[in-house]
Amino acid sequence: MRVVICLPFLGASDRYITPGSTLDKCADCGAGIFVAPSSRESPGDNVYVCMDCAARRLRDDPDPKFEVVEGAGRELLDWHRRN
């Protein structure tokens, strides 16, 4: 299982939303989140969580394994060019 940290819907500035992102619900709390295309297209058993729930999960597992999904680096560079 891969935990994917997503931008929360409430209070999100258009500036931070990756183009092509879709709305979904946090697997832990049900809050609205934006899921970036690279995260949606990433193969495997993905669990999408909001930033608050991701922080809670990190408190429970202080040594998590992180990875960047394919395409996320390109999305970050595109965002940086736009802003």
Which tens digit of pLDDT belongs to each residue from 28-62? Answer: 999 999 999 988 888 888 899 988 888 888 888 87
Asked whether 27 and 50 are in contact (CB, 8 A), the reply is no
Torsion of CA 49, 76, 21, 15, to 10 degrees: 100
Task: Determine how β-strand 32-35 pairs with β-strand 22-25.
Answer: antiparallel
Which tens digit of pLDDT belongs to each residue from 15-32? Answer: 778 889 999 999 999 999
Asked whether 39 and 4 are in contact (CB, 8 A), the reply is yes
CA distances from 36 to 23, 40, 63, 75 (A): 9, 6, 25, 8
Predicted structure pTM score: 0.77
Q: In what order do the strands lie in the sheet with 32-35?
A: 22-25, 32-35, 2-8, 46-50
Q: d(Cα 5, Cα 52) in Å, to the nearest integer?
A: 9
